[in-house]
């Protein structure tokens, strides 16, 4: 049986370090499922693995796309499932690491199947976004699909517009089409979650943001500023600095917002993962040997 080991958890918890130790132990390779780390123009603000970490274990889907490319979770599923099948010919188990829950779900269960929607509906929604702002669209989504709106990230323009276009262009709302059957995969999922007390996690987040700034995040964001309308850059760590460059915020306020929004992001990640009963949770300080022993037992289980 092929085994796909998932190293999951909130941002700044130490997933990369553990993934490398696991990959080295099993002499295998790592596939990133972090939707922020796909883009080669984004480095500091996405906390991509360092050169030494990339040398320690072979990684896939780290900075292999451009911010100018449209790359969706559906594209990720279409590209990565064949890659996994290919890698399993020589390596077993494989390691997948990341905190992007929807991208991981696309690999473990497959994406939900939605009907084709008239592209004019999305064009109209994008126009409304430009004229009315995201909150107006989020308000409409709450009315049309309160179930999805209650658990969705309503600050994510792409997800709000995607859900709305289904609500407006399909016979049923977005939530209806999300309750599809899981796809059959030719591998077993072994899911490892890392966690910490909330106060410790938030302290780690604060330190990571400070380190990113020391490493040159401000300059990296300035170099990307002319592309600020691209969806890939509508992410924590960049959008706040763009507001500073626009003269809307002071730098100190922008940095405070990065830390606040990263804490909120980590909370949403935990909320998503805690709903999955298949995840075995370990404290972030747990010795890697203990976690590897657990994984070895799971790979032997039928």
Residues placed in the known binding site = 9-16
- What order do you get walking across the sheet with 279-283 strand by strand? 59-60, 30-32, 94-97, 2-8, 187-195, 279-283
Binding residues for substrate: 11-16
- Which residue, chain included where needed, has tokens 């507001």? 243
Looking at beta carbons, which pairs linking 258-264 to residues 24 or more positions away fall under 8 Å?
258/209, 259/205, 259/206, 259/209, 261/236, 262/11, 262/12, 262/205, 262/208, 262/209, 262/236, 262/237, 263/202, 263/205
Q: Give yes or no for a contact between 295 and 35, defined as CB atoms under 8 angstroms apart.
A: no
Q: Give yes or no for a contact between 130 and 160, defined as CB atoms under 8 angstroms apart.
A: no
Question: With helix as H, strand as E and coil as C, how does 175-220 read?
Answer: HHHCCCCCCCCCEEEEEEEEECCHHHHHHHHHHHHHHHHHHCHHHH
Binding residues for ATP: 9-16
């Amino acid at each position: 049986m092929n085994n796909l080991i998932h190293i999951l958890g909130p941002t700044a918890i130490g997933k990369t370090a553990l993934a490398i130790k696991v990959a080295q132990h099993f002499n295998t390779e790592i596939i990133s499922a972090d939707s922020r780390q796909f883009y080669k123009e984004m480095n500091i603000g996405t906390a991509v693995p360092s050169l030494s970490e990339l040398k320690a274990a072979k990684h896939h889907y780290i900075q292999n796309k451009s911010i100018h490319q449209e790359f969706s979770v559906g594209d990720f599923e279409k590209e990565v499932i064949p890659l996994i099948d290919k890698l399993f010919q020589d390596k077993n188990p494989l390691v997948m690491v990341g905190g992007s829950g929807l991208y991981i779900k696309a690999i473990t269960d497959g994406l939900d199947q939605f009907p084709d929607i008239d592209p004019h509906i999305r064009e109209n929604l994008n126009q409304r976004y430009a004229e009315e702002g995201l909150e107006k669209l989020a308000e409409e989504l709450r009315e049309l699909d309160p179930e999805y709106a209650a658990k969705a990230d309503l600050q994510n323009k792409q997800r709000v517009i995607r859900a709305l276009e289904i609500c407006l262009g399909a016979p049923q709302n977005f939530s209806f089409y999300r309750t599809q059957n899981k796809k059959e995969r030719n591998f077993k999922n072994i899911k490892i979650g890392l966690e910490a007390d909330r106060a410790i996690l938030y302290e780690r987040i604060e330190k990571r943001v400070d380190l990113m700034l020391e490493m040159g995040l401000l300059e990296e964001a300035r170099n990307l500023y002319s592309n600020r309308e691209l969806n890939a850059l509508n992410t924590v760590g960049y959008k706040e600095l763009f507001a500073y460059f626009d003269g809307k915020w002071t730098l100190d306020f922008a940095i405070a917002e990065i830390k606040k929004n990263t804490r909120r992001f980590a909370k949403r990640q935990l909320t998503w993962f805690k709903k999955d009963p298949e995840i075995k949770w370990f404290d972030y300080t747990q010795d890697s040997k203990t976690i590897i022993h657990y994984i070895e037992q799971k790979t032997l289980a039928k």
